[in-house]
Amino acid sequence: MGGEIEGLLVILCLNTIYAYGIFLPAASGQLNLGAAGFITLGAYAAAWLNMSPDSEPGGLGLPMVLSIPSAVLFAAAVGFVISVPILRTRGVYMVLATFAFAEVVSGLVINLEFVGAAAGMPAEDHVDFTGLLIITICVVAFCYYLMSTRFGLAMRSVHDDESVATLFGVNVRATRVAAFTIGAAIVGLGGALYGHHFNYVEAQGFNVLLSIFILLYVLLGGTQTAWGPLVGAAFFTFIPETIRWLGRWVGGEFGKELIEYRLVAFGIIIVMMMVLRPEGVVTRTLLERVFTLRRRAAPAAAE
Amino acid sequence: MEVLLQQIVNGLMLGGVYVMVAVAFTLVIGMLNFLNFTIPALFMVGAVMIWAVMQKGFGPGVDTFLNDTVGAQNKWIVGVVVALVVVSLLSLVIERFTYRYMKAKYGDATEHALPLVSSLGFLIIFEHFVIGRWGSDPLTMDSPFGNASFYVGTVQFSTPQTISLALSLAIVFSISLMLKKTKLGRALRSIAERPDTATLMGVDVNRIVPLVYVIAGLLCGIAGVLFAINYTTLDAYIGDKVATIAIAGMVLGGLGNVWGAVVGGLFVGLLEVLSIHWLGASIVKVPIWGMLLLILIIKPTGLFGHSAIGKGKF
Amino acid sequence: MSDAVLTITELNKSFGGLQVIDDVSFDVARGSRTALIGPNGAGKTTVFNLLTGVYPIDDGRTVLDGVDVTNIPAKDRVIAGMSRSFQNIRLMPHLSTVENVMLGQHARARGLAQQLFPLGLLRRNRWAEEARAALEQAGLDTYPGQVVADLPYGIQKRIEVVRAMVANPKILLLDEPAAGLNSEETEELQLLLRQINDRGTTLLVVEHDMHFVRTLCQQVVVLNFGKKIFEGTPDEVHRDPAVKQAYLGTDSTAPEEAGNAA
């Protein structure tokens, strides 16, 4: 049971990191459906840098403390380079461009012999759950900090109204490129950690559905505040498991069906969430309400 | 040379499937400014429905009943009807939750990512329903037409594939004619151009938009059925595989342009088959998606698209 | 008129063959409160859009405090000393009141260190304090943390003025700041604008309410069909025959009537 919960928390950590990487561009109004591409880049870069040159398919043999940051820098560099042309596109076009980028990355990686081609490759050093948790907390804290800065303010302004942001001196292009690049770095970090935790990377696992799910965590969690991705990732990592648990608890034929169809229920929840909270679970207004209630409650309690 | 000609024919045949899906995408995007991810799901549902009717997917009881009433050789007709009825009904449900409900409640739905997210939700629902019901292994089906084919010179043409290609082009042609000539077509185009003023001009948006969904749904459903008949192997994710390539075709042709989607769909079919022929199956993603990426960066309006479509926030 | 903070010379703009701004030239005196008026469609907002760089200028020159800003990018014009409010409210709907005002400070917060300064984490930082003080001065301090989309129209309208003000511009361009406000709110707005002006900020105001213009502004420029037809004091403006003609010919509310009615 303990192992099962830890396994779930590992997935939650990775999903949270991915979600924050997609959240940063989303907070500045850009939908990135290419998460799988950056995960692939981060995971393979870390695995290859870390693998000793003597083993198959071979690598550089760097220790993990170097391979992970280098993988992050690599993902950031690729993110920066492609952000310049990709961010020229808008709306649907950008969704498609990021999506096409991820497919190109995956198509290339499964043909590169030096990273094991279609079979994938091992990532030798191991990151345990504690390490993963600490890094996840750091990522959440970093994004929370970033959203509270003037740069974060610029990002949110660009999301709301690009042309007005420009008239108040915001460099819209630089803001979008920065958000996309930092996001790419974070998703790449998630990929590197995935590799080093499971000790194996395989491009087939980083597919379109993964990109779609990560974008869903972000949009359902809400892009207005830095809490959105955390809530979104947690919600959607736990919901299928909760349904599974519920199915076991109910038992019998119905319980079995519930477990079998839990992702159908998950999809229904997504559609219903969009009906009930179209701007995401966590919105500014919600936070405002929660905090004013607390403020009002405090003096009342003091009396 | 002969091999190449054969590959070109195969590519165009495959392109015929992409054409219909690309046209479905382009209709919804052109009229409602929304990238509809339920299209892959409806394609898959169409394919799985005819499979289920043909291969006892609804259980032995239903199968015996069908054999007794319509006969084994005519089951495919029932399959087609079931597939089309199911996708039409699903299209109406999807319309409720991705467009109408949101629009009524929150103004212009395309301002938010709402329809996109809801459509992804539906994609997950349908795919996992099929997996839950029929498993995630490939589903194979016996083609009702066997291996019927004819030769032109040395190039082999599969008869059902040729009929499918002709059928899909005919359907697209009638849609394009309908858009141009009929009153309904004018109403649809007025929604595409100015959704706000369309209402003022006496167009009942709440009646027309479901129609767009049903037309798009039927196109995918028919494409799915034809795919199942011609290629006989499918699974729950077949819609993703086909529709993503169809998206590339649609973008190549230009968002919102029906004939652009036809050219684009045929082209990506060719590109896929020829890439496999020359470069190998494992690398096929690179030319297709590389092409899409390049088009989006260099000329996002594609070959024949308008610049206004798809520029909204999401 | 030797000391002009803004000099506009032979400004021209056409959209698809239609000349919307036709050889408009005028100066805005430093420290003045100048109004830009005219019937609907005269091109007032277009002048603002050209000044702030929303559209490129076809021909002409704009000089802001001795610096030619005709062709500099829109984002640099606020740094050069020009900020504006909008005819239709264009606050950031998902930002709070204070955050909207802090966006107005953006042009003054140069450099990476300023960009990475955690405005939202430290409650008592100088930017937030300043934004709150500016709101308080405008009588809007009751809604600091509220998301602006939920606030009433009149409040939002005034937040726009505060946001433009905290950019510390040399010239503040206000596009119909009093539109849609009730008389009490208009009064408060006048007071606020005078205070801003007293601290040395020049005001250029597009406004329909002639009473508002007459009580606030010392100088009036009148546009009609993209041409400047009059420049003078508010007292002279409604005696001018060309102005009368412009208003009566196109719009029933002549400035005189509008002024009397208000």
In this structure, are residues A194 and A43 in contact, taking their beta carbons and an 8 Å threshold? Answer: yes
Residues C159 and C97 in one domain: yes
Measure the CA–CA gap between C34 and C27, rounded to whole angstroms.
10
pLDDT at A302: 43
Nearest CB to C109; choose among A150, A171, A172: A150
Crossing angle of helices B38-54 and B205-231, rounded to 10°: 50
Could you report the per-residue pLDDT of B78-88, keeping only the tens digit for each? 999 999 999 99
Measure the CA–CA gap between B113 and B127, rounded to whole angstroms.
21
- From chain B, the residues in CB contact with A118 under 8 A are 282
Nearest CB to A93; choose among B106, B118, B310: B310
Bridge partner residues of C8 (DSSP): C26, C62
- From chain A, the residues in CB contact with C106 under 8 A are 150, 153-154, 168-170
Burial of A191 (0-12, 13-18, 19+ CB in 10 A): buried
Q: Given an 8 Å threshold on Cβ–Cβ distance, is B97 in contact with A85? A: no
Residues C59 and C141 in one domain: no
Residues C246 and C261 in one domain: yes
Torsions phi, psi for C35 (to 5 deg):
-110, 145
Q: Which of residues 166-185 of A touch C (CB under 8 A)?
A: 166-172
Encode B284-308: b = buried (16+ Cβ within 10 Å), e = exposed. bbbbbbbbbbebbbeebbbbbbeee
Query: In terms of pLDDT, which residue wins out, C150 or B119?
Result: B119
Half-sphere exposure of C12 (CA within 13 A, CB side): 8
Residue A289: its H or E element: helix A284-302
Bridge partner residues of C35 (DSSP): C205, C220
Nearest CB to C95; choose among A156, A172, A292: A156
Q: Where are the domains of chain A?
A: 2-296
pLDDT at C248: 66
pLDDT at B166: 92
Measure the CA–CA gap between C103 and C109, rounded to whole angstroms.
10
Strand duo C171-175 + C202-206: pairing: parallel
Strand duo C219-224 + C33-37: pairing: parallel
Q: Is B77 helix (H, G, I), strand (E, B) or coil?
A: helix
pLDDT at C242: 84
Task: Report chain C's C-alpha Rg in angstroms.
Answer: 18
Residues C179 and C76 in one domain: yes
Nearest to A60 by CA among A131, A123, A127: A123
pLDDT at B195: 61
Q: Given an 8 Å threshold on Cβ–Cβ distance, is B125 in contact with A111? A: no
Q: What is the number of domains present in chain C?
A: 2
Nearest CB to A161; choose among C90, C107, C119: C90
Q: What is the mean pLDDT of residues C167-188?
A: 89
Half-sphere exposure of A68 (CA within 13 A, CB side): 20
Residues C147 and C235 in one domain: no
Encode A73-110: b = buried (16+ Cβ within 10 Å), e = exposed. ebbbebbbebbeebbebbbbbbbbbbbbbbbbbbbbbb
Strand duo C59-64 + C67-68: pairing: antiparallel
Q: What angle do CA C82, C86, C88 make, to 5 degrees?
A: 175
Residues C120 and C238 in one domain: no
Residues C108 and C153 in one domain: yes
Does the bond joining A122 to the residue before it have cis omega, within 30 degrees of 0?
Answer: no
In this structure, are residues B53 and B71 in contact, taking their beta carbons and an 8 Å threshold? Answer: no
Phi-psi region of C17 (alpha: psi -120 to 50; beta: other; left: phi over 0): left
Residues C69 and C96 in one domain: no
Could you give the residue ranges of the DSSP H alpha helices within chain C? Answer: 44-52, 74-80, 97-104, 112-115, 126-137, 153-165, 183-198, 210-216, 234-237, 241-250, 255-261
Q: Given an 8 Å threshold on Cβ–Cβ distance, is C75 in contact with A167? A: yes
Residues C41 and C76 in one domain: yes
Residue B272: its H or E element: helix B258-279
Q: Given an 8 Å threshold on Cβ–Cβ distance, is A169 in contact with C76? A: yes
- From chain B, the residues in CB contact with A264 under 8 A are 124-125, 128-129, 132
**What is the average pLDDT value for chain C, to the nearest integer?**
86
Residues C22 and C97 in one domain: no
User: Min CA distance, C258 vs chain A (Å)?
Assistant: 31
Q: Given an 8 Å threshold on Cβ–Cβ distance, is B240 in contact with A208? A: yes
pLDDT at C261: 37
Give residue C1's domain range: 1-81+169-262
Burial of A15 (0-12, 13-18, 19+ CB in 10 A): buried
Q: Does domain A2-296 have CATH number 1.10.3470?
A: yes
Measure the CA–CA gap between B136 and B131, rounded to whole angstroms.
5
**DSSP secondary structure, A206-275, as one string:** S-HHHHHHHHHHHHHH-SSSTTHHHHHHHHHHHHHHHHHHHHHHH-HHHHHHHHHTHHHHHHHHHHHHHH
Measure the CA–CA gap between C197 and C35, rounded to whole angstroms.
13
The Cα-based distances of C35 to C160, C168, C218 in angstroms read 18, 20, 8
pLDDT at C252: 46
Query: For chain A, how far is it from start to end, CA to CA, in angstroms?
Result: 46
Structure tokens at A267: 């999809």
Report the complex ipTM.
0.87
**Measured between CB atoms, does A288 come within 8 Å of chain C?**
yes
Which residue stretches of chain B have pLDDT < 70? 101-112, 193-203, 305-314
Q: What is the mean pLDDT of residues C48-64?
A: 91
Q: Is residue B140 part of a domain?
A: yes
**Measured between CB atoms, does B29 come within 8 Å of chain A?**
yes
Crossing angle of helices A252-260 and A228-250, rounded to 10°: 150
Give residue B235's domain range: 2-298
- From chain B, the residues in CB contact with A89 under 8 A are 296-297, 300
Q: Is residue B306 part of a domain?
A: no
Measure the CA–CA gap between A110 and A126, rounded to whole angstroms.
23
Residues C161 and C173 in one domain: no
User: Min CA distance, C115 vs chain A (Å)?
Assistant: 5
CATH number of the domain residue B232 falls in: 1.10.3470
Residues C59 and C116 in one domain: no
Q: Is residue B304 part of a domain?
A: no
The residue behind tokens 């009059």 is: C230
Query: In terms of pLDDT, which residue wins out, A58 or C69?
Result: C69
Nearest to A169 by CA among C163, C244, C42: C163
Query: For chain B, how far is it from start to end, CA to CA, in angstroms?
Result: 46
Which residue stretches of chain A have pLDDT < 70? 1-2, 292-303
Nearest residue on chain A to B99, alpha-carbon basis = A275
Nearest residue on chain A to C93, alpha-carbon basis = A160
pLDDT at A178: 96
- From chain B, the residues in CB contact with A96 under 8 A are 35, 247, 251, 292, 296
pLDDT at B61: 85
pLDDT at C145: 76
In this structure, are residues C8 and C24 in contact, taking their beta carbons and an 8 Å threshold? Answer: yes
- From chain B, the residues in CB contact with A108 under 8 A are 286
Q: What is the mean pLDDT of residues C194-212?
A: 90
Nearest residue on chain B to A117, alpha-carbon basis = B282
Name the domain boundary from C168, C202, C217: C168
Q: In B233-313, which ranges are E strands?
A: 233-234
Could you report the per-residue pLDDT of A140-199, keeping only the tens digit for each? 999 999 999 999 999 999 988 889 999 999 999 999 999 999 999 999 999 999 999 999
Sign of CA dihedral C79, C81, C87, C92: positive
- From chain C, the residues in CB contact with A151 under 8 A are 115-116
